[in-house]
Structure 1
């Protein structure tokens, strides 16, 4: 582990700063939108822009890297993310903010892809699992820490917007000055959604529903807390409890899923998350039980992303895992794009407590679907499953999966790369033939 940290410390430091900024930015915008009376539905639409940007970024950033290189791409996208939050500080308008949220999502997806490709390039088969675990620790820790930064200034001012911009700009320094050599970012071929659904209906349905729940939590959690009259301090603690709950529950639930089966744990998490979501609707005034209940909601909700992803991977070969990773991100992002507007509409009709009700209904639908699927196909035995691996919302995270060898990653590279290699081989054959013909003509 020490060698892993020494080789990649600059990347982890840079990503930690970026996630601090990302955690602070999402909560800050939710609180400020409520204070500015944007309206719940408009705020939900605005917050969904981030996930729409993620979809665009995951599709276009690898092509950008292939054209201009990873260093220029990373620097340009970090500058774009840093600028977009400053635009939101200057122009306090929901439609400007929606456009900037799309820009931010696009930029952040590119930062994740480049950083993860760099980590993957630094890893070998023996260290990939350690790097992935440490990367997720840094990411979730940064997101949770970003919530607490909400307390250093008033959300009605411009100072917190500047802090987000500063954190993103500072993240450039350790990453771009790193002595690590530049990685090569492969463009992977994706597996179609219908094809993936035939492989694992529960996994695909779950990725969409969990994406909706995550979008609701990250996009509307701060709005709910502000509309309930919580102070800035309480809002930051509320969001921190949600995220830390997901982090603390993630590995124990993954360990259990390795031993008693993915479907059972998915069913347990979705049902328990739904129950605690509905119970939390009546606990907002109880300071003793409120934050623990919130942490439990996050603890059962957020790990479902990795559980559903690993459930799909159990039915795929290592090469197919890499090829399917982009589709998993797409499914989750589509759900996350719909989550904030749907939750906002419910909150506008039924009041702030519908935040929990929306998350509860989403998880209830997954519970019912999992129960139905349990009658359609026998679950895999524990021996037939792979090991649980935490997943992040970038297609390149699959390359850090310890079950995926380097040969499997190379096998998943797109047909364009294979055509290039084939062209070089043909050229080499032609040159060899010309050389042989020249030798025959020599006296």
Structure 2
């Protein structure tokens, strides 16, 4: 493992610095807007803009990388992200902040694509799985740690934005000083959504539902924390335990799907997520004493674990219905399905919060998970389960860009990839020039 860490240490350092800053940024924006008296619906639109930008960046950001190279593109994306971050400190304007979040999402997708293509270039058939694990640990560990920056003393309201911009700029240093040559950007041929649905209706519906839940949580949980009176420290802790719960529980919960029919596991996860969401509604008024806070943290850990696990189990279920050689292409389409859900989640979730108050966030996540239960029951009546020996192994996966998918060790030993993102959106402009 140590030689693998050494070979990608500069990339892991860049990821850690990026996520320390950007992990706190979304939480901070939600807290700042909610504290300024902005309504949940308006905050939902601002938060949804980030995921819209992330989706657009996944589709078109690589054109910039191809034209100018990885290091120049990384520098450009990081610089624009830093400038956009500082733009939030100037003035609270919802249109401006929505445009800034759109730019931040696009740039973050570009940054992920640069890093993930470097990881692909340095990975071998033997080390892909270990590199993927190190990448995910760094990604989500730094995101969780970054939440604690919310506790910085910031009377002016500018310091936290400045720190985020500084961390993003520092992420340039290990990349700019790398002595490795630029990699070839892997070309991902993404399955069309119709083809994916024909292969695994529950898989693509489940990834969409997962996007609804996690997009709403990342975007609106800070608003919930502010309305519940958590304060900055309590909101930071709340977001941290949700993320860490997702990291800690993904593997044990996901491995259950290697033993049982994956559709049954998806139904069980979704039903448990409904229960955990309703549990969050029930404990929403318990933040006033230490015992109540402990109960809320415990439920939040479980909620995070269930919501984070739904996506990779749905990916594994989809993989059971396609050829091994098609896993990489399928994962690109599934990420797009997830991204669509993550864009809609803050919009729909904020509407429910406007009607029901802060706990309405978890009413929305319960409804989203319940839709997966209903659809899963319908699919179980329509098609028999694949034989147990046909199920591939569970693997935890990032929900960043399709460029990460070749790191999945379940794919071909030496995947042959080609770029055709237009197949996922046949009415759109061809992504490659």
TM-score normalized by structure 1?
Answer: 0.91
User: Which one has a bigger Cα radius of gyration?
Assistant: 1
Q: Does 2:189 correspond to 1:183? A: no
CA root-mean-square deviation: 1.4
CA offsets 1:345-390 (integer angstroms, 9 cap, x no match): 1111111110111111111111111111111112223321222111
The Cα of 1:264 is off from its aligned counterpart by 1.9
**2:412 equivalent in structure 1:** 405
**1:59 equivalent in structure 2:** 59
**1:280 equivalent in structure 2:** 280
**1:111 equivalent in structure 2:** 111
Question: In structure 2, how many angstroms separate the alpha carbons of the residues matched to 1:138 and 1:183?
Answer: 21
**1:161 equivalent in structure 2:** 161
The Cα of 1:181 is off from its aligned counterpart by 2.3
CA offsets 1:127-162 (integer angstroms, 9 cap, x no match): 000000111101110110111111122376100001
Question: In structure 1, how many angstroms separate the alpha carbons of the residues matched to 2:208 and 2:270?
Answer: 13
Q: Is the 8 A contact 1:28 1:155 kept in 2?
A: no
The Cα of 1:261 is off from its aligned counterpart by 3.0
CA offsets 1:152-203 (integer angstroms, 9 cap, x no match): 2237610000111011111110122122221100332221111110000001
Q: Size of the alignment, in residue pairs?
A: 414
The Cα of 1:15 is off from its aligned counterpart by 0.3
Task: Flag the 1:76–1:92 CA change in 2: closer, same or farther, 3 A.
Answer: same
| Residues 75-224 of structure 1 aligned to structure 2 (within 5 Å) | 75-154=75-154, 157-224=157-224
**2:334 equivalent in structure 1:** 328
**1:435 equivalent in structure 2:** none
Question: In structure 2, how many angstroms separate the alpha carbons of the residues matched to 1:186 and 1:255?
Answer: 29
The Cα of 1:36 is off from its aligned counterpart by 1.2
Show structure 1 runs of 5+ residues with no match.
Answer: 417-443
Q: Is the 8 A contact 2:78 2:111 kept in 1?
A: yes
**1:386 equivalent in structure 2:** 392
| Residues 173-322 of structure 1 aligned to structure 2 (within 5 Å) | 173-284=173-284, 285=286, 286-322=292-328
1:281 match: secondary structure: helix
Q: Does 2:432 correspond to 1:414? A: no
CA offsets 1:3-47 (integer angstroms, 9 cap, x no match): 110100110011011111111001000000101112110000101
Q: Is the 8 A contact 1:32 1:155 kept in 2?
A: no
2:216 match: secondary structure: helix
Task: Flag the 1:159–1:368 CA change in 2: closer, same or farther, 3 A.
Answer: same
CA offsets 1:38-82 (integer angstroms, 9 cap, x no match): 211000010111100011101111222221111111110011111
The Cα of 1:111 is off from its aligned counterpart by 0.7
Task: Flag the 1:358–1:156 CA change in 2: closer, same or farther, 3 A.
Answer: farther
1:37 match: secondary structure: coil
Question: In structure 2, how many angstroms separate the alpha carbons of the residues matched to 1:325 and 1:13?
Answer: 26
Name segments (4+ residues, structure 1) moved above 6 Å.
none
Q: Is the 8 A contact 2:327 2:410 kept in 1?
A: no
Question: In structure 2, how many angstroms separate the alpha carbons of the residues matched to 1:222 and 1:50?
Answer: 15
**1:6 equivalent in structure 2:** 6
2:414 match: secondary structure: helix
1:387 match: secondary structure: coil
Task: Flag the 1:379–1:153 CA change in 2: closer, same or farther, 3 A.
Answer: farther
Question: In structure 2, how many angstroms separate the alpha carbons of the residues matched to 1:61 and 1:149?
Answer: 29
TM-score normalized by structure 2?
Answer: 0.93
Q: Does 2:383 correspond to 1:377? A: yes
Question: In structure 2, how many angstroms separate the alpha carbons of the residues matched to 1:67 and 1:398?
Answer: 22
Question: In structure 2, how many angstroms separate the alpha carbons of the residues matched to 1:325 and 1:69?
Answer: 25
